[in-house]
């Protein structure tokens, strides 16, 4: 059996300490002084809010920004984002409750929420219908029938967008191009039949389409071209089938730059998006998640020990993939900064590694519990704190909390 580990970081060096904002360092040293091994996510809601304002300001009036709650569902982050986004994208009843609490239904009676998920259960669909969300992204003919039945039983009509798995998207760049077998959406050849079903069901108001074929795209030009294609495809398909098009959801997919990568050019994207001809009365929904919150969080774990084994050095942490599984699951180099902690029990040996390559591992009884391999560090000692920036998305929510039963990572709002 092969063991999945993140790629080697060589020849990279760890981030310098000053990559960590002063208020992050201060709070971590306060936590360290409390005497309990540090193991926590630190979040700054102001960073997420600023990112949302930047994107919202760059986009035309016909665009709506719905934050994808799955990226970071910490209530403090949801509340920080609420004034700066048009709504939320949810995939569960728990996320729906967070979203509607932070941003209640509008005067028109609809909750500013869009909902996704390839296998929405009847309880989930019931909650969405009862909340009166802006759009339920329906994934199959059976889901259409369930939504209609639930809406009829409650004497209402549910707004639905049909999720489509397009045969191909004629756009270059960092995109998942569609046309692949998938549990997501209705294959394009089956769209006509799904539209017919939706239009005949009495509990459904078919408002448009949902297409989510982009992933971690750092190219503003190609992402704007993708948006244009989604709008044009939706308009043409709606016209062909006599649909009153009011809603086009292009999903998320705006990328986050790591070391050596060029960040997504928000201003350029907005400029190109403004040139897209969107039919009157149509809202184009974007569902950014990771893009809004990646840099608002830091995962920090105390170095419990430093070990040397057959010529290699390891920093063992009070945490690991039970707290921060992203580097292993996504096959990425997620770099670290070392925050020195000077307090140490008198008379106790303090192992360290200096001027060498170090692998940062967790506390679990498996070699897969590896967060970062072969990164050069100037110095790391037992008792110091390893801090992983850009951990605000798919961090706490994505981890293996129950494995071995260690305490979960804390979450602190700065």
Contact 393, 256 (CB under 8 A): yes
CATH number assigned to the domain covering 17-44+294-413: 2.40.37.10
Q: Could you tell me which of 105, 389, 69 has the C-alpha nearest to residue 252?
A: 69
Is a pLDDT exceeding 80 seen at residue 107? no
Q: Could you tell me which of 380, 387, 296 has the C-alpha nearest to residue 337?
A: 387
| Pairing status of strand 39-43 against strand 133-138 | unpaired
Q: Could you tell me what percentage of the chain is helix, strand and coil, using 3-state DSSP and rounding each to the nearest 5?
A: 35, 25, 40
Structure tokens at 231: 């709008």
Q: Helix 266-273 to helix 220-241 angle, to the nearest 10 degrees?
A: 30
pLDDT of residue 182: 83
Contacts of range 61-66, beta carbons closer than 8 Å, 24 or more positions apart: 62/278, 62/282, 62/283, 62/284, 63/273, 63/283, 63/284, 63/285, 63/286, 64/283, 64/284, 64/285, 64/286, 65/286, 65/288, 66/112, 66/113, 66/114, 66/285, 66/286, 66/287
Contact 121, 147 (CB under 8 A): no
pLDDT of residue 229: 96
CA 281 to centroid of chain Cα atoms: 29
Percent of the chain at pLDDT > 90 equals 87
Contact 247, 135 (CB under 8 A): yes
Structure tokens at 280: 């009157």
Q: Which residues contact 330 (CB under 8 A, 6 or more apart)?
A: 394
Asked if the domains at 17-44+294-413 and 46-293 fall in one CATH topology, the answer is: no
Which pTM does this prediction carry?
Answer: 0.95
Q: Could you tell me which of 92, 101, 90 has the C-alpha nearest to residue 134?
A: 90
Host H or E run for residue 263: none
Is a pLDDT exceeding 90 seen at residue 23? yes
Is a pLDDT exceeding 90 seen at residue 168? no
What is the domain partition of the chain in residue ranges?
A: 17-44+294-413, 46-293
Q: Where are the alpha helices (DSSP H) in 274-309?
A: 290-293
Domain 46-293 has CATH 3.30.565.10: no
pLDDT tens by residue, 119-158: 999 999 999 999 999 999 999 999 999 999 999 999 999 9
Contacts of range 229-238, beta carbons closer than 8 Å, 24 or more positions apart: 229/169, 229/170, 229/171, 230/284, 231/276, 231/277, 231/278, 231/282, 231/284, 233/166, 233/209, 234/208, 234/209, 235/279, 235/282, 237/191, 237/195, 237/209, 238/208, 238/209
Identify the weakest region by mean pLDDT among 166-170, 272-276, 340-344, 394-398: 166-170
pLDDT tens by residue, 241-272: 999 999 999 999 999 998 788 999 999 999 99
| Pairing status of strand 283-286 against strand 247-249 | parallel
Active site residues: 365
pLDDT tens by residue, 280-302: 999 999 999 999 999 999 999 99
Q: Which residues contact 168 (CB under 8 A, 6 or more apart)?
A: 177, 178, 179
Q: 182: how many CB neighbours lie within 10 A of its CB?
A: 12
pLDDT of residue 214: 82
Name the 3-class secondary structure at 102: helix
Q: Rounded to 10 degrees, what is the CA torsion of 35, 38, 43, 47? A: 100
117-126 b/e (C-beta count within 10 Å ≥ 16 → b): beebeeebbb
Half-sphere exposure (Cβ direction) of 91: Cα atoms closer than 13 Å: 14
């Amino acid at each position: 059996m092969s063991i999945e580990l993140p790629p080697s970081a060589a020849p990279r060096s760890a981030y310098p300490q000053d990559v960590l904002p002063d208020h992050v360092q201060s709070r971590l040293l306060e936590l360290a002084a409390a005497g309990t091994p540090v193991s926590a996510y630190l979040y700054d809601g102001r960073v997420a809010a600023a990112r949302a304002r930047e994107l919202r300001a760059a986009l035309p009036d016909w665009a709506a920004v719905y934050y994808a709650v799955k990226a970071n569902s910490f209530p403090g982050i949801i509340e920080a984002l609420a004034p700066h986004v048009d709504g939320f994208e949810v995939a569960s009843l728990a996320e729906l409750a967070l979203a509607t609490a932070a941003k209640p239904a509008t005067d028109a009676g609809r909750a500013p929420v869009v909902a996704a998920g390839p296998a929405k259960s009847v309880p989930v669909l019931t909650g969405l219908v009862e909340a009166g969300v802006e759009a339920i992204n329906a994934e199959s003919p059976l889901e259409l029938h369930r939504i209609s039945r639930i809406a009829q039983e409650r004497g209402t009509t549910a707004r639905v967008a049909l999720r489509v798995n397009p045969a191909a998207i004629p756009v270059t760049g960092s995109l998942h191009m569609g046309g692949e077998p998938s549990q997501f959406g209705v294959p394009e050849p089956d769209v006509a039949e799904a539209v017919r079903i939706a239009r005949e069901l009495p509990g459904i108001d078919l408002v448009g389409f949902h297409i989510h074929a982009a992933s971690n795209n750092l190219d503003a030009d190609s992402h704007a071209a993708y948006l244009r294609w989604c709008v044009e495809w939706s308009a043409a398909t709606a016209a062909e089938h006599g649909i009153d098009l009011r809603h086009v959801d292009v999903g998320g997919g705006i990328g986050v730059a790591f070391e050596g990568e060029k960040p997504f050019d928000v201003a350029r994207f907005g400029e190109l998006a403004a040139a897209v001809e969107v039919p009157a009365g149509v809202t184009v929904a974007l569902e950014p998640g990771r893009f809004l919150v990646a840099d608002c969080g830091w995962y920090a774990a105390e170095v419990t020990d430093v070990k040397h084994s057959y010529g290699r050095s390891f920093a063992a942490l009070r945490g690991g993939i039970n707290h921060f599984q992203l580097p292993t699951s996504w096959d990425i180099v997620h770099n670290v900064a070392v925050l020195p902690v000077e307090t140490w029990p008198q008379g106790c040996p303090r192992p360290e590694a200096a001027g060498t390559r170090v692998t940062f591992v967790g506390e679990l009884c498996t070699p897969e519990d590896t967060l970062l391999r072969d990164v050069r560090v100037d110095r790391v000692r037992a008792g110091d704190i390893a801090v992983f920036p850009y951990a605000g998305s798919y961090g706490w929510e994505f981890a293996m909390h129950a494995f071995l039963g260690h305490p979960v990572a804390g979450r602190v709002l700065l």
